[in-house]
Amino acid sequence: RMDQALLLVRNELPAPGLNLAARSGSCHQCLYQFLAFVPPSNESLRKPGTASVMVDTQHPLTLLLNSSVGDRDLCKIQYHFGEFGNYSLVVKTLSTSNQTVSCDLIINEGPINSYLPILFAFLVYMGILALLIAGRLLMKIDPVRNWVYKKLNPRATDRMINSELGSPNTTDSINCDPAPQSWSSGSRQRLRSLDTFRGLSLVIMVFVNYGGGKYWFFKHESWNGKLHFPSALFSRFVFIMGTSIALALGSMLRWGSSKWKMLRKIIWRSFVLILLGIIVVNPNYCLGPLSWDNLRIPGVLQRLGFTYLVVAALELLFTRTDSGTWEGRFPALQDILPYWPQWIFILVLETIWLCLTFLLPVPDCPRGYLGPGGIGDFGKYPNCTGGAAGYIDRLLLGEKHMYQHPSSGVIYQSMMPYDPEGILGTINSIVMAFLGLQAGKITLFYKDQPKQIMSRFIIWGIVMGVISAILTKCSKEEGFIPINKNLWSISYVTTMSCFAFILLLLIYYLVDVKKWWSGAPFLYPGMNSILVYIGHQVFANYFPFKWKMQDSQSHAEHLTQNLTATTLWVIISYILYRKRIFWKI
């Protein structure tokens, strides 16, 4: 099968036989898992005992061979097997006098290179990018550019997409419209870098949710540590949502909107997001009608909705309606000090998270446990997955209303339901959105000052990185608070915020400052993010987003299907952009 290899164990030792066990290199402090019993050799027939097993190829394995009687360890081998490879492990005696045993690993048939489809797909998309660059160069020719602008009618499009804005107007922000200045001098402009950032995160999220070609590095980390590509996607979405809140609320207040009216809209939008997540996204209607008995309550949209409600209401309560410069003792902190009540609120929330995580008593579990349960921690706490976070969800929501197949179940074989979008982790998603809100305030307070904006993005990125280094001790497992996407630990939030500030800086520089990049194609799904996210979930099992494969054990076929589905959503969002259709809640 995919991500597996065949291992044939040949035992040339006499009775009593051998036990073969294995432990994954990505499984921290895990018990060895029994794989097979290898019978002893038949001395009369001079025939070795054999056993064949399938071994995992996603991570390095440690193989342990010991005697079935007396449990004496004979040999231990660390090896990273290759996909569809055929291997033999020969166990024999080198010296009968001192009973020296040798274990030799032999490659009978070499593995395939399962990464070639990624290289081919990369070359295809690079070819498409080359064509887009050539088209951009053609757009620098005046007759071609004027003809395209006339056909696309960008003035009407800009009026539509900026009707409910997340950016300063042209009198107090950087002009980011690639059209001639005479066309844009009288309209408010949207920071394209925000939509590009959002669209980039969304497109990769769609690809990962569709399967990511079934490659292990396009899946979420089992528990602590290594930041696989998918681990950053949802957090970036939360971050840029916070940025948009600052810009949107500031714009609406400057145009004289009532705070009560805005609060009603915030509450309604949050309610709709949560309802869409529970009713539309979470259930799998292909398996039957909606059933409240086992309906999952938490989810991505639910967390986005609640996070939006808290952060938007907090910003609405303390935001300033004037756009003048703050005249305090520390003008360099004008985007922070006037909002000290917000910071106190966030610090109180984080204190609550820390107290619940490390002080809440959890039955049959050590206090402050942050592990995956299962076979982790040498199997001492099999039913403690997620510690306090999992316990709170099971207590308040019930096991049947949680995510039933957490990522920790694959490597750590944890059997308890655990929801990565659970209640306790929502506190830190609020912190993440608040840090994104800070990025939005920077763009507002330092309007027409791109160097100031970029320098502060760098400073915030460094600060978040230093905090992460302290919390984790620059270690995967040994820090005070490890980086963990399932728990949404505070170290995960600071690390993802560090990357988000740096990525936003780069996109802002390329798209809005230098205008070397229009943001395409990520700009288009970024402007219809809710429609693309809900659509890709609802139609995930329908053609042309999914079809019956000839070989379901082929990374190439999975990658082709997942990239095709993702590309279709980009094309759909582009068509909607051209037709000026933008779904907003």
DSSP string spanning 11-41? Answer: E-S-TT-EEEEEEETTSTTPPPEEEEEEPPP
Task: Say if residue 537's pLDDT is above 80.
Answer: yes
Report the candidate in 190, 171, 166 with the shortest Cα–Cα distance to residue 247.
166
Residue type, 109: E
User: Which DSSP symbol is given to 224?
Assistant: B
Tokens matching residue 528: 């219809």
Say how far apart CA 535 and CA 516 lie, in whole Å.
31
Residue 173 pLDDT level (bands cut at 50, 70, 90): very low
For domain 4-109, give the fold: Immunoglobulin-like (2.60.40)
Task: Say if residue 322's pLDDT is above 70.
Answer: no
Task: Say if residue 572's pLDDT is above 50.
Answer: yes
Catalytic entry in 220, 401, 536, 558: 220
pLDDT of the residue at 229: 65
Say how far apart CA 180 and CA 165 lie, in whole Å.
21
Average the pLDDT over 293-310 and give the result: 93
Say how far apart CA 85 and CA 56 lie, in whole Å.
11
**Residue pair 446/259 in contact by the 8 Å Cβ criterion:** no
The answer to whether 555 is a known catalytic residue is: no
Residue 185 pLDDT level (bands cut at 50, 70, 90): very low
Domain map (residue ranges) of the chain:
4-109, 192-319+337-579
Most confidently predicted of 43-47, 310-314, 327-331, 548-552: 310-314
Q: What is the pTM of this model?
A: 0.86
Average the pLDDT over 9-38 and give the result: 89
Residue whose structure tokens are 């409910």: 164
**Residue pair 36/9 in contact by the 8 Å Cβ criterion:** yes
Q: What residue spans of 210-339 are helical by DSSP H?
A: 233-254, 259-276, 300-318
